[in-house]
Structure 1
Amino acid sequence: MCFKIGPPRLVGVEVEWFVHDDRCPTEPVPPERTRAALRSLPLGGEDGTSLPSGSRLTLEPGGQVELSSRPATGLLACVEDTRRDLTALRAAFAAQGLRLTGTGTDPLARPRRMVLDHPRYLAMERHFDSAGPWGRIMMTGTASLQVCLDAGDADGPHAADRRWLLAHRLGPVLVAAFANSPLLDGKPTGHRSTRQIVWSRMDPTRTLAPAPDHGDPREAWAQYVLDAEVLCVRRPDGIPWTAPRGLTFRDWLRGAGERPPTLADLDYHRTTLFPPVRPRGHLELRMIDAQPGDGWVVPAALVTALLDDPVAADAALAALEPLEALEAPRTPGPQQGADSPRAPRSDVWRRAATLAVADPELRRAALACFAAADAALGRLPGAGRLRATVAGFAERYPARGRCPADDQLDALRAGTRRTPPEEAAP
């Protein structure tokens, strides 16, 4: 069920935002104000049914707001529907004096805290805290853009295994081109995508990509799910969901847990895994930093054009081939550690997070992918305006060796902005 086979048709996005107070941006926003903004939407309620195009809304552990679009038939419908819902969402928050800020890490030095006390998040906090601060930073101080596409056909130009391969190989280029998190706690970190660095330092059993030595992505994913540590075990009300440290789902199946696992446990376990590309029936690309304003449109268009147009897919795979040589590990380590060729801990992924498209190899690959996407959008009826938007981004950023993170760093040096710009993409 993680790879539902069929011709690619549907497109969706999940867009995440930090919430800032326009008057006091360095102060945390009480969750009550965020909920009040959500309740003010037409029809009211927080169940995601109140936006014009039917997107769902959820609150993240640190108070971030995530909008998940409905699956749309094609890229153009997805962009139109999501823009309509975001317009309504922004208006509801502006009426409360709040701003939705699109950036991969919270750029301001303000207290980070968990605002949700669901047993899942408490178990996650406990699990990640044992290995350092990275899990807590991820939950409360990062935001992403996720692009969701159908898994693909059994074979042919839209074969699922080919799309799976391209999505993974495209990962470093997406990190580099759309890097937008150079700050943490108000200070530069030395990385263009600090969010990607945070993910690379967390539990490797749930953040690395599945092993590439399985030809069938379904087999690779099955092994990955079994070998990932169990993050939480659902229990009756009032009993913590904390899982025994080091317990994998394979161990649990073999009798190591407190009770035999159920199919529901397996389904829930899959929701606690966070690789760069997660199969959920469709493919969910998770490596892209949140973008300012309507900047989410460009990565959504780029990814969809490259995966859904067979000619563009061939061109992208050829352009990404040189990056594969950079993936070789220097020294093999246990548990696919820091020198693993598996994303996001290989050298090319680290360079993408730190240098972005200032890296010559990543810049060349990015420009080739943008060119392939431009040609694909030229073959898509009605995509002229969207094609111009993507081309404008390519000219403004990768063609000049820049990414959105550089705008934040420029503003910090100039002292001109308190929070990242939220104007629409060019």
Structure 2
Amino acid sequence: MHDTPVDEPGHRLRDRVEAEAYVASVCFKHGPPRLVGVELEWTVHHVDDPSRPLTAEVLSTALGPHAPRTLSPESPQEVLPGGSPLSMEPGGQVEISALPQDSLAGLHATAAADTRYLSDLLATHGLALGTSAIDPFRTPRRVLDTPRYSAMEKAFAPLGTHGVTMMCNTAGFQVCVDAGEAGQMAARWAAVHALGPPMIALFANSPVMLGRDTGWASNRSRAVLNTDPVRSFPSVCDDDPAASWARRVLDTPLLCLRRPGDSCWEAPAGVTFADWIAGALDRAPTLDDLDYHISTLFPPVRAQGYLEVRYIDAQPGDRWLAPAALLLALLSTSDTVARVLDVCAPVADCWEGAARHGLRDEKLARVVEEVAAMGLAALDLPAAETAAVTGDIEDRLRKARA
């Protein structure tokens, strides 16, 4: 057994202990919280008829040299002017991954500029970015034809329609924050999870599907949480999140199995990564296989060397600044984290309730009021951004009270 796991991607994993040690070390890198990143997703629609299906050809033409290679294999895949890579989800949703910065204000300026550039690029071809976190018009249909997405769709199909909906019709907003110092990580991990239901309720933005209000505040959260519970439900929060996360990763079944030169990536049903290490397949897995397997888990918070907060609905325009600023403020000090854990405890497990009822749930609404007050008091932004965030959140709360 290695005291410190090796990091060569082609290294063959020999046992579970080695694999867990590797996951714990690479997924929970500790140090002072410094950087923040965001990933912005949108559905894409024809301006003249938002319900008309997209095609790969239309998207490829519109995105030109910025088209990801999953869409256009020969594309130069140029980054956007602000440096943000552009990627695409299976149903044609576009995603900007803004490079991490040590200032949310600077990050906002860069991401907003790249968003405007992308919006203008699409508009030239009669397309527009969606304003909801779920496609309100179309049935789910894959635009991207890749081995990964084909295997995913087939694996999710026996579990119902939530999987294909998540893949093809949802758009999320992700905030990426540092895990923190070694002594802080367990509390930060727990706080980020405890904030999940209140943040889902406050920023729910996906009530309509196929032109009908479903009664759910966040149909996106509903779809994601129910896609495949073993890989999409919240993680355990205990005193050693790195070890718990590593166990979860190893005990999660394979979603797809990469095969060189093979268009079929379907994985044997029920085979976990731990089973693979133990000899369930015809070759031993590598560290690269393990890294890829981690990317096939979709919990509300995913550890990848930083904490990827995945539970917030996509917001229209630049309104993602409000959830990002609130989250960062609530994680800004050890005292604030402790208060978050205390205030959110009564609703920490109300994930489905938050998705269904949003701020109509009185218990959640009370917690959200207190959480919002704490966060707004701790904002660290220039005056203009502070006013925008405060106005956005107070407006949401006013509407909920009414």
TM-score surpassing 0.5? Answer: yes
1:6 matches 2:31: yes
Task: Find the aligned partners of 1:57 and 1:194 in 2 and give their Cα distance.
Answer: 25
* Count of paired positions: 372
SS at match of 1:284: strand
Task: Find the aligned partners of 1:221 and 1:47 in 2 and give their Cα distance.
Answer: 36
Q: Deviations over 1:277-312 (max 9, x none)?
A: 001111000011111111111111111111124443
1:52 matches 2:81: yes
1:387 matches 2:386: yes
SS at match of 2:109: helix
SS at match of 1:71: strand
1:122 matches 2:150: yes
The aligned amino acid for 1:162 is A
The aligned amino acid for 1:175 is I
Task: Find the aligned partners of 2:99 and 2:32 in 1 and give their Cα distance.
Answer: 18
Per the TM alignment, residue 258 of structure 1 is displaced from its structure 2 partner at its CA by 3.0
Per the TM alignment, residue 315 of structure 1 is displaced from its structure 2 partner at its CA by 3.3
Aligned to 1:322: 346
Aligned to 1:246: 270
- Are 1:144 and 1:286, in contact at CA under 8 Å, matched by a contact in 2? yes
1:143 matches 2:142: no
1:96 matches 2:98: no
Distance 1:311 1:215, change over 3 A: closer
Aligned to 2:322: 298
The aligned amino acid for 1:259 is R
Aligned to 1:82: 111
The aligned amino acid for 1:392 is G
Q: Deviations over 1:382-422 (max 9, x none)?
A: 5222221221122211243179xxxxxxxxxxxxxxxxxxx
Task: Find the aligned partners of 1:46 and 1:87 in 2 and give their Cα distance.
Answer: 22
Q: Deviations over 1:342-364 (max 9, x none)?
A: xxxxxx11211111012111111
Per the TM alignment, residue 59 of structure 1 is displaced from its structure 2 partner at its CA by 1.2
Percent identity of the aligned residues? Answer: 44
More off after superposition, 305-314 vs 172-181: 305-314
The aligned amino acid for 2:353 is R
Residues 259-274 of structure 1 aligned to structure 2 (within 5 Å): 259-274=283-298
Aligned to 2:48: 23
Per the TM alignment, residue 89 of structure 1 is displaced from its structure 2 partner at its CA by 0.9
1:356 matches 2:343: no
Task: Find the aligned partners of 1:146 and 1:253 in 2 and give their Cα distance.
Answer: 31
Task: Find the aligned partners of 1:50 and 1:239 in 2 and give their Cα distance.
Answer: 28
- Are 1:41 and 1:92, in contact at CA under 8 Å, matched by a contact in 2? no
Q: Which runs of 4+ in 1 moved over 3 A?
A: 45-50, 309-312
Task: Find the aligned partners of 2:94 and 2:401 in 1 and give their Cα distance.
Answer: 28
Structure 1: stretches of 5+ with no match in the other structure: 328-347, 404-426
- Are 1:176 and 1:357, in contact at CA under 8 Å, matched by a contact in 2? yes
Aligned to 2:260: 236
Per the TM alignment, residue 94 of structure 1 is displaced from its structure 2 partner at its CA by 1.2
1:105 matches 2:134: yes
Per the TM alignment, residue 40 of structure 1 is displaced from its structure 2 partner at its CA by 6.3
The aligned amino acid for 1:284 is E
Task: Find the aligned partners of 1:262 and 1:161 in 2 and give their Cα distance.
Answer: 28
Aligned to 1:307: 331
Per the TM alignment, residue 160 of structure 1 is displaced from its structure 2 partner at its CA by 1.5
- Are 1:41 and 1:89, in contact at CA under 8 Å, matched by a contact in 2? no
Task: Find the aligned partners of 1:139 and 1:215 in 2 and give their Cα distance.
Answer: 33
- Are 1:316 and 1:369, in contact at CA under 8 Å, matched by a contact in 2? yes
The aligned amino acid for 1:354 is R
SS at match of 2:99: coil
SS at match of 2:27: coil
Task: Find the aligned partners of 1:238 and 1:162 in 2 and give their Cα distance.
Answer: 44
Aligned to 1:195: 220
Q: Deviations over 1:87-140 (max 9, x none)?
A: 1111111111111013121011x3432111111111101110122211111111
Q: Deviations over 1:132-189 (max 9, x none)?
A: 211111111111000111111112xxx1111111000000011101111111122122
Aligned to 2:20: none
Which of 91, 96, 113 aligns to 1:67? It is 96
Per the TM alignment, residue 259 of structure 1 is displaced from its structure 2 partner at its CA by 2.3
Task: Find the aligned partners of 1:161 and 1:101 in 2 and give their Cα distance.
Answer: 36
Aligned to 1:339: none
SS at match of 1:355: helix
The aligned amino acid for 2:225 is S
SS at match of 1:364: helix
SS at match of 2:331: helix
Aligned to 2:377: 375
Aligned to 2:5: none
Distance 1:229 1:320, change over 3 A: same
- Are 1:309 and 1:376, in contact at CA under 8 Å, matched by a contact in 2? no
SS at match of 2:250: helix
Distance 1:48 1:305, change over 3 A: farther
Structure 2: stretches of 5+ with no match in the other structure: 1-25, 68-73
Task: Find the aligned partners of 2:90 and 2:169 in 1 and give their Cα distance.
Answer: 9
Root-mean-square deviation (CA, aligned residues, Å) is: 2.0
More off after superposition, 310-319 vs 52-61: 310-319
Task: Find the aligned partners of 2:333 and 2:383 in 1 and give their Cα distance.
Answer: 16
Which of 206, 210, 215 aligns to 1:181? It is 206
Task: Find the aligned partners of 1:72 and 1:202 in 2 and give their Cα distance.
Answer: 32
Aligned to 2:367: 365
- Are 2:172 and 2:311, in contact at CA under 8 Å, matched by a contact in 1? yes
